[in-house]
């Protein structure tokens, strides 16, 4: 009779619906499950990818083409920045005009670098800051729309 009771799974008195199978009784580690406890989930480490998934046997955190560059974004972003920065809004001059004219002034005395008090640095920083912001938001908007990040 004792062998018949171990043949199937028997319930353990105690926590919820715990069961023991015959293979668990013979092993030294007994696995009990309970309705009160959540099942253990193995923690996933993004750095421990299998070699089949990693590129060339190296561990990678990002996909290979993480930037997902697109020439449409670069072209439209450049046009999208040059057009508004060419509006004459600074004492009748545009930011692009002031930046390019300051480049010409600094190239007139080429071997020596621009002075720290030169207006070139201000126009260069403002022009490039605007360009990079336009390209960044263009990339977010264009890729977000093509990859359905935004709900309609």
- Separation between Cα atoms, residue 116 and residue 96, nearest integer Å: 20
Whole-model pTM: value is 0.55
* pLDDT by 10s per residue, the chain, length 152: 554 544 455 555 555 554 544 444 455 566 666 666 665 665 565 555 454 455 555 656 666 777 677 788 889 999 999 999 999 999 999 999 999 999 999 999 999 999 999 999 999 999 999 999 999 999 888 888 887 777 76
Distance spanning both ends of the chain, measured CA to CA: 67
Give residue 68's pLDDT. Answer: 73
The answer to whether the CB of 11 falls within 8 A of the CB of 18 is yes
- Separation between Cα atoms, residue 139 and residue 118, nearest integer Å: 33
**What is the tens place of the pLDDT at every residue in 65-82?**
776 777 888 899 999 999
Reduced to 3 states (helix: H, G, I; strand: E, B; else coil), residue 65 is coil
- Backbone dihedral region for residue 131 (phi beyond 0: left; psi -120 to 50: alpha; all else: beta): alpha
């Amino acid at each position: 009779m004792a062998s018949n009771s171990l043949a199937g799974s028997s319930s353990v008195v105690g926590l919820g619906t715990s069961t023991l199978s015959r293979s668990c009784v013979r092993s030294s580690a007994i696995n009990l499950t309970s309705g009160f406890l959540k099942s253990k989930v193995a923690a996933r480490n993004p750095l421990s990818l299998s070699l089949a998934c990693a590129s060339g046997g190296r561990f990678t955190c990002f996909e290979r083409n993480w930037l997902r560059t697109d020439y449409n974004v670069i072209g439209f972003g450049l046009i999208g920045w040059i057009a508004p920065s060419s509006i004459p809004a600074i004492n009748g001059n545009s930011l692009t005009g002031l930046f390019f004219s300051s480049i010409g002034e600094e190239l007139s005395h080429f071997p020596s670098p621009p002075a720290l008090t030169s207006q070139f640095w201000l126009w260069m920083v403002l022009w490039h800051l605007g360009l990079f912001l336009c390209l960044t938001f263009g990339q977010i908007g264009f890729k977000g729309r093509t990859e359905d990040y935004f709900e309609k």
